[in-house]
Structure 1
Amino acid sequence: MPVLRYITHPDVVPDPDVLVPEWRLSPTGVARARAMAAQPWVEATGRVVSSPENKARAAAAILAERLHLVVEVRPDTGEIDRSSTGYLPAEEHEAHADRFFALPDVSTGGWERAADAQERVHAALADLLVPGEADVAVVGHGAVGTLWYCRLTGQPIDRRHDQPGQGHYFTVDLVTREVLHPWRPIDAD
C-alpha cells in the first residue's frame, strides 16, 4: 500500500534578525531529522518533496541523502505568509496563530488567510495523491500541514488538529486518500 507522509521540519533556531523563511534547523532539529531518516518506514520512500524554506529543505535533504534521492522543491507548499508581521515573540505569535485558525476567512494582522493557505497547499500537492510504486515524503510546515490534514480528513479548519510540536508527520493512504493516523513524532517508531 503506497502512502504519502506529510512531515514537518523539526526544531529551528528562531532569530528575530533573520527572515523566518531563512531560519535554520537547530542542532536538536538536525539530530531529530537524522533519527527520522533511520526510521523503518523511510525505506519505502521513493520521492522526497520539500517546501522552499531553509528549515524544510534541510530536513528533506537529510532524508533524501539517506535514500540517495534528489529533493523536489515546490514553492507553493511554503509556510503561511506572515511577512506582514515578521518575527513575533513566542506568546504574540501563538495569539496570532490562534486567531489564524479560529477565523480562517479573515487575515490576522495581515497574514495569509487560513482558507487561502489551505487551498494553496492542497493545489500544490494534489497531484501526489495517486498510487505509485513507492511512498512519497513531503517536508513542510506545521500550519499548512494542519490545514491540509483538515482538508484531507473533511474537517473544518481548527487548531485542535495542529501538530503537538515541530517535527511530526501524518500518513495518507494513496489508494483511498484516507489519513491513516494523526500527528506522530518523526523520530519515534
Structure 2
Amino acid sequence: MSETLNFQLRSAYAIAKLRKTGYSKNKFYIEALELYKEINIMMANGDKKTIRKNVTERMYSALKNEIKQREAMWGSVYWEMVEPVIKIKTLQARLVSSLKSLFFFVYALSIIGIDRMDLNKAFIQLTLEFLTKQKFEAYDAKGNVVAGDKKKEVLVRDIWVFEKSLFHTGAYWRLCGRIEFPTKDKIQPAL
C-alpha cells in the first residue's frame, strides 16, 4: 500500500471514530477559529495565565517562552484578525494513544500508531490550515512603533494541531502544536 493511501486511510478512520462522538466539521471549525483568535490575542497581550487552559502542557511551555522572548524585544503588541477568514482546511486527522499524547510530534504529518487493543483510550488530533488576513504592530517600552503597521492587512498561513481526548467526559479541544514552515514557504509569521 502506498504511503499516501495509508495516510489517507488513517485520517479517514480517525474522522470516522470522531464522528461517533458527535463531531461536526462546521461546528469544529467555528470552535477552532475561536481558539485561534483567543490564543493569538492572549499571545499579543502576554497573557500566560489564561492561555494555559487552551493549550497542552508542552504547547504552554513553548508559548510561554515565545512570550518571554517577545517581551524582551517589544513593550507591547497589537494583533487583529480581519474577518471573514479566507480558508480553514483539515490537513490531517489522527488517533494518538494516551501515552503518546504526552509528547507532541514536531512533524505532524508523520504516521503514528495507537494501541489497537484499546482504541477508546485515544486522543484525536486534527491538523488545520488557517489562511487569514491579520493586522500587527509592535511597540517599544515608550509606545513607539518598532515593527508592523496596524493599518495594513497581511496574509498569514498558519498550521495548528488541535487535540481532544476521546475518553474523558467533557473533554475540549486544545492547541497541541503548530507547524513551522521552511522560510521560502512562509507567507508571514504568526505572533
Q: What TM-score do you get using the length of structure 2 for normalisation?
A: 0.25
Q: Which structure has the highest strand share of the two? A: 2
Give the structure, 1 or 2, with the largest relative contact order (CA under 8 Å, sep 6 or more). Answer: 1
TM-score normalised by structure 1 residue count: 0.25
Q: Which has the higher helix share?
A: 1
